[in-house]
Structure 1
Amino acid sequence: MTVNEDLFTNWKNREEIAESMIPIIGRLHRERDVTVLVHSRSLVNKSVVSILKIHRFARQIAGEELSVTETLPFLQALTELDLGPSQIDIALLAENYRADSRGLSVAEFTAEAVAGATGPDKLERAGARDVVLYGFGRIGRLVARLLIEKAGSGNGLRLRAIVVRGGGGQDLVKRASLLRRDSIHGQFRGTITVDEANSTIVANGNAIKVIYADDPSAVDYTEYGISDAILIDNTGKWRDREGLSKHLRPGIGKVVLTAPGKGDVPNIVHGVNHDTIKPDEQILSCASCTTNAIVPPLKAMADEYGVLRGHVETVHSFTNDQNLLDNFHKAERRGRSAPLNMVITETGAASAVAKALPDLKAKITGSSIRVPVPDVSIAILNLQLARETTREEVLDYLREVSLTSSLKRQIDFITAPDAVSSDFIGSRHASIVDAGATKVEGDNAILYLWYDNEFGYSCQVVRVVQYISGVEYPTFPAPVA
């Protein structure tokens, strides 16, 4: 057999193994509410090639490719356990097993590693929690896609309605079309139909009522059978407690804002301070996409090295609040054509750090430049540390944080030498450390942090909603604190 034939045979064998994994992953998700992960990346509803690519990506963060031949035995072992709702990372199971010297079988090791998801300690499957989207713009539609995707098990979160202002003829059809097709994020994964008679969009079997209202006070959600729902305001029109309280109508239990909150509204960055949310808190904010991008790595660096001061410069994709062509705008510079110019503007991300990391006493400043790309931004975080270190030490530390820490869903790590912004469209992490661009000299560290300011941020929003709804399930093996 030639080398080429041997390589192709190996590929076909791995394809066959990945294909055998799909029904197992699907059954675990639908029947037990278990999400199978590989280095924090979900394998639910993934194709054969996607499963193989996710395994191959492990070389970027773990130093070597992970084979499906290694992970399949652990996946099979999970099917023999009485699992409760959870997230289980089979890549970490395989890696931890290699490092274990006790001579346990795969089945024995797996049962021990996920013991918290079995027996008397396991969670019981909860009923669905109603969710309402107020607004249906860029973030609203991506959050809708995520909620529909995560409804596959029949538990957890259930998108019941969206609230929008009436847009005239064919309004429902046009909104469904925008959900179905996206110029940046591609086609919706599934089927969408429109029931105009009942003002409903049906996406993958989820009936989503479209409610037309010009003001929150005009809606009684109980009329639509909605109860104790979490309302996600993605309009940004109201940002303080008084304004957001308008949403606390019959049928609504909590309000989550997808923009920085003002006044005493808590600004939450999942993975960093979500555990500070008080059970009786009805109104909170998920801060901004840039805040979510910089706060997790800033916390990681502060925990390990200490941070005396810092500055963040964001190179940000243009957004809908800018003009397509030169025209009047109430803000300085933003009236100039977004796709034709780099535009210097302000960012509130630096000041928002204090809300998410109140124990961090370092002064963080920030500024922003909008650039002519439609999605994915980069934050350049320039830090003065409390002790000297080396580039190698910082990169080793951040790689480990991305793999095993409690921030592994927020921080990703990439070593690809030719990575550019479009490579990160669809990233589910809050930020991605670019190892090749990282600079460290003495007590100064400069981190380059990519982030999908639309999709990655939407994932963070959904994580917060899952947490406050009680359906954020534990991950096994448990991350290192």
Structure 2
Amino acid sequence: MTVNDDSFTNWKNREETAEAMIPIIGKLHRERDVTVLLHSRSLVNKSVVSILKTHRFARQIAGEELSVTETMPFLRALTTLDLGPSQIDIGMLAATHKADDQGLSVEEFTAQAVAGATGSNKIERREGRDVVLYGFGRIGRLVARLLIEKAGSGNGLRLRAIVVRGGGEQDIVKRASLLRRDSIHGQFQGTITVDEANSTIVANGNAIRVIYANDPSEVDYTAYGIKNAILIDNTGKWRDRAGLSLHLRPGIDKVVLTAPGKGDVPNIVHGVNHDTVKPDERILSCASCTTNAIVPPLKAMDDEYGVLRGHVETVHSFTNDQNLLDNYHKSERRGRSAPLNMVITETGAASAVAKALPDLKARITGSSIRVPVPDVSIAILNLQLAREASREEVLDYLRDVSLTSPLRRQIDFISAPDAVSSDFIGSRHASIVDAGALKVEGDNAILYLWYDNEFGYSCQVIRVVQHASGVEYPTFPAPAA
């Protein structure tokens, strides 16, 4: 048998194993509210090739490829346990078992590692929480996709309604079409039908009522059977407490803003300060995409090295508030053609750091340049550290943070030498450390952080909503503190 034959046989064997994983992952998700992860990447509703690629990607961060033959025994072990709602990372199970010196079998080790989700420790399934989207633009449609994807057994978040201004004939058909197809993020994964008579979009079995209103005061959500809901405002029209409080109508319990909040509105970056949200807080902000990109790595660097000062330069994709061609705009430079120019603009991300990281004493400044790409941005974080470090030390530290720390859902890591912006479309992390571009000299470190400013940010929004609604389930094995 030739090397080529060996390689192909190996591929077919791994393909067969991945095929066997799919029904197990699906059953755990539907029947027990268990989301199976691989190094923080969900394997729910993934294809055979996607599962294999996710395993292979582990080589980029862990240094060696992870095989489905290594993780499958842990997945099978999960099916023998009395699991409650949780997120379980089989990549972490395989890695920690390999490093464990207790001599436990896969079954014994798995039972020990996920003990917090079994038996008397498991949490009960919670009643589904209604969610309303106010606005249906770029972020609104991606958040809708994520909510539909995560509907699972029906015991989590349930997208019940979308509120928009009336757009004329066949408005709902056009909005459904925008949800179905996206020039950047591709086709919707599933089926979408439209019930025009009842003003409803049905996506993967989820009936979503489209409510037409010009102002929050026009809507009584209880009239649509909606109760105790979380409303996600992705219009950015109201950003202070007084404005966002207009959404607190019958049927709405909390409001989450997908833009930086003003005044005393808490700006939450999941993974960093989401645990500071008070149970009785009814109005929250998810800050900006750039704030979400820089705050987690900034916290990680401050925790380990101390940060005395910093500057962030964001090279940001153009957005809907810019013009396609030169035209009037209330902001001078943003009036110039977005697809044809690099445009210097302002960013509030640096000043927003203080809200998310109040214990950080360092002064952080920032500026931004909009560039002619439709999605994915990069933040260049230039830090003066409290102590000297080497490039290898910082790389090893950030790689470990991306794999095992409480920030592993926020910070990703890539060592591919030819990575470019389009490679990160669809990334679910708040930011991705580019290992090849990292620079460290003495007490100065420069981090290059990619981020999908649309989808990665939308994932952070969902995490905040899950936490605020009480349906954010614990992850096992627990990340290192």
SS in 2 for 1:152: coil
The corresponding residue for 1:176 is 176
2:335 is aligned with what amino acid?
G
- How much does 1:103 deviate? 1.7
Q: Deviations over 1:103-124 (max 9, x none)?
A: 2111001000000000111110
- Name the residue aligned to 1:404: 404
User: Which whole-Å CA distance do the structure 2 matches of 1:328 and 1:361 have between them?
Assistant: 40
Tell whether 2:297 aligns with 1:308.
Answer: no
> Is 1:65–2:65 an aligned residue pair?
yes
Deviation at 1:76, TM superposition (A): 0.2
For residues 245-394 of structure 1, what are the structure 2 equivalents within 5 Å?
A: 245-394=245-394
Question: Once superposed, what is the RMSD of the aligned Cα atoms?
Answer: 0.4
Structure 1 position 72, deviation (Å): 0.3
Tell me the amino acid that sits aligned with residue 347 of structure 2: T
Structure 1 consecutive aligned stretches of length 4 or more whose deviation exceeds 4 Å: none
The superposition leaves residues 428-463 of structure 1 with CA deviations (integer Å, 9 ceiling, x where unpaired) of 000000000000000000000000000000000000
Q: Does 1:241 align with 2:241?
A: yes
Residue aligned with 1:398, SS: helix
Q: Secondary structure at the match of 2:427?
A: coil
| TM-superposition CA deviations, 1:396-430 (whole Å, max 9, x none) | 00000000000000000000000000000000000
Identity %: 89
- Structure 1 residue 152: deviation in Å? 1.9
- The match for 1:442 is 442
AA aligned to 2:37 is L
Q: What is the rounded CA distance, in whole Å, between the counterparts of 1:178 and 1:102 in structure 2?
A: 53
Q: Are positions 1:424 and 2:453 aligned together?
A: no
3-state SS in 2 of match to 1:445: strand
Cα distance in 2, alignment partners of residues 103 and 273 from structure 1: 38
Code of the residue aligned with 1:392 in structure 2: it is: E
Answering whether residue 13 of structure 2 is matched by residue 13 of structure 1, we say: yes
Secondary structure of the residue that 1:151 maps to in structure 2? coil
Query: In structure 2, what residue type is equivalent to 1:418?
Result: D
What amino acid does structure 1 have at the position aligned with 2:19? Answer: E
Aligned residues: 481
Measured after TM superposition, the shift of residue 384 of structure 1 is 0.3
Map of 2:95 onto structure 1 = 95
Counterparts of 1:117-136 in structure 2, within 5 Å, are: 117-136=117-136
| CA shift digits 1:375-411 (9 cap, x unpaired) | 0000000000000001000000000000000000000
Normalising by structure 2, we get a TM-score of: 1.00
- Matched to 1:245, the amino acid is S
Gaps of 5+ in 1: none
For 1:16 and 1:313, locate their aligned partners in 2 and report how far apart those are by CA, in whole Å.
Answer: 46
CA distance in 2, matches of 1:257, 1:133: 10
Looking at structure 1, the residues matched to 457 and 120 of structure 2 have their Cα atoms a distance apart, in angstroms, of 35
Partner of 2:3: 3
1-side partners of 2:331 and 2:408: how far apart? 37
Deviation of 1:332 (Å): 2.1
Q: CA deviation at 1:77?
A: 0.2
* 1:159 equivalenced with 2:159 (yes/no): yes
In the alignment, residue 175 of structure 1 is paired with which amino acid?
R
Q: Who is 1:142 aligned against?
A: 142
Partner Cα separation in structure 1 for residue 348 and residue 98 of structure 2: 45
Q: 1:203-251 CA distances to partner (integer Å, 9 max, x unpaired)?
A: 0000000000000000000000000100000000000000000000000
Q: CA deviation at 1:48?
A: 0.3
2:388 partner amino acid:
E
Q: Measure the CA separation in 2 of the matches of 1:103 and 1:461.
A: 41
Q: Which residue of 2 aligns with 1:231?
A: 231
1:295 partner amino acid: V
Gaps of 5+ in 2: none
